[in-house]
Structure 1
């Protein structure tokens, strides 16, 4: 017998696709571990290659509004996708309320609770002024004056001053506090920006510092109660406190896959569609060509409704379809391991697409810092 060369046929495109799918079964999940690394498959080279990555990597935008975006990153590893998510949440600087000086608070809300509520109100303003001109504030050293490190280039000052009084012109039978009193409800829009130094040059007109949502309720007052508060805003990062996170949500999920392996027709097709979110499965009539094609499974069913996969991205992978015995062996569920669907919701200081670009820049800077260290480590050993 001739000696074996040890070679094998290269994997087909179907085999490669199958390796890249996480199997979703009735009670288990299979193929969860990535296998595209050197020496995992005999006679297959899976070392990372820049050109191969360049060919396979794609970015697809599905929705790109100013403060909400949804896009897909295709052809990357989960570690890279998660790095972008963590950077979006914690490593892009924003401006937020940091220090609250409460001179008078006779409302029913305790000082620390009120300060916490104020700190979580998202603000916006001239993006270039916030991102490029405004610097970072340094906490005063022990024994140093509390204002020693406060300058117009690193601190934004706000004021909240309100007093609740009776409304003499209120309707006689009214029970609505908004009609009975002045300043019964204090909202984020009642917080006023007071420019310091040259801040008016950077934050004026449409670019003035203001709450992103002016109707956030801060406190409720009744006659005789008042607030007098000075607020200082500083730049910071989400890893220090959530109030500095530039996003309300930044998440991703794997692209669902739905493969119909056997025809599903008629009433079963309608039931099949009801097992998924609206728009995932469509119903189409069987064509004459399909009905006349031998082995298609549609013979003699011309005009009858069949189930087809319309938009798998809408699927939530609930596995509801796997509960019904009539669909057993007719459908395969899975998720693509290298297709990440990102959702970003900005809190207002950054546009949603700019946030992703900034995350790319941040990751690039991290790599530039890490690269010489890895190089030195290799040469050391």
Structure 2
């Protein structure tokens, strides 16, 4: 009964017990009434890996509705800066104006106002006569984000004197030009959220998966142990030496499993393994586009979620006041 409440079991053709069922009076002998103190006690956040643009952490003790709400906030409600308007003064490249504008919808790292792009492809007079490489024959043939020039307005030059505003990545290719072709653009950046346009989304990926759990119901040894090891992702199953040179399979890290069901292809192995997913244990992976560090995105998403809860409580309080007054 406890397994049914806590785990979703993976079968050969389906996944069972996927829905949340631990609500009041559903299971005899279990007190599933919602309790705030118990919720706080069970809620855990464990950071597994944190890098500049990527973070992996575990969110434990919550329902999937809360986990998904957090994921959606990361994707569509954490604000960032991106180019909103592109003023084309001159464009003699092969790219149409609207296509070029779409290629410039990348995020920016600071509260920017204006970028300028003035590039013209010309012949390289100092190029060797023997070379045939376009990169050596022409200057400004490849237009990159590093060619964008920030134009300070107001006191921005004083505020950002030590850290001038620039695109997050300098090596993003914008366009290729032929000799004589020219780009003269001015771009305005504004703050927005991914719900309005995908270019404002500060994450390239924000996903979660349930924690896998793998249990060996019987001892698997010899060639079967090696076959079992190949059925799972690398690092999930290890083969250890037991007594008298006996080699048996052992589960060492279920977390690494990718959810494959290869073990069900072998009739003599499929009944020796139990695969399940912990319903309230979510493994989050968040990758930033580079405008903000990944850990900062998570912190801002938490603040936004808290703000939503406060707004909801305020609406409830206002509703109760109106109900009592009538």
Partner of 1:11: none
Other structure's SS at 1:336 match: strand
Structure 1 residues 97 and 356, CA gap change in structure 2 (3 angstroms): same
Does residue 65 of structure 1 match 2:51? yes
Partner of 1:230: 186
Once the 2 structures are TM-superposed, how far is the Cα of residue 183 of structure 1 from its aligned partner?
Answer: 0.3
Partner of 2:258: 316
Q: Which digits, 9 at most, give the CA deviation of each residue in 1:114-141, with x for residues without a partner?
A: 000001x23224xxxx4xxxxxxxxxxx
Which residues of structure 2 form unaligned runs of 5+? none
C-alpha distance in structure 2 between counterparts of 1:204 and 1:36, whole Å? 56
Does residue 303 of structure 1 match 2:303? no
Partner of 1:183: 140
Q: How does 1:34-113 map to 2 (within 5 A)?
A: 34-113=20-99
Which deviates the most, 38-47 or 221-230?
Answer: 38-47
Provide the TM-score with structure 1 as the length reference: 0.82
Q: How many residues align?
A: 323
Other structure's SS at 2:59 match: strand
Provide the TM-score with structure 2 as the length reference: 0.95
C-alpha distance in structure 1 between counterparts of 2:219 and 2:61, whole Å? 31
Q: Which digits, 9 at most, give the CA deviation of each residue in 1:71-117, with x for residues without a partner?
A: 11011100110011011011111111000000000000000000000
Q: How does 1:12-23 map to 2 (within 5 A)?
A: 15-23=1-9
Partner of 2:218: 262
Q: Which runs of 4+ in 1 moved over 3 A?
A: 375-379
Q: 2:109 aligns with which of 101, 105, 124?
A: 124
Give the number of the structure whose alpha-carbon radius of gyration is greater: 1
Partner of 2:300: 358
Other structure's SS at 2:2 match: helix
Q: 1:193 aligns with which of 150, 158, 176?
A: 150
C-alpha distance in structure 2 between counterparts of 1:202 and 1:72, whole Å? 38
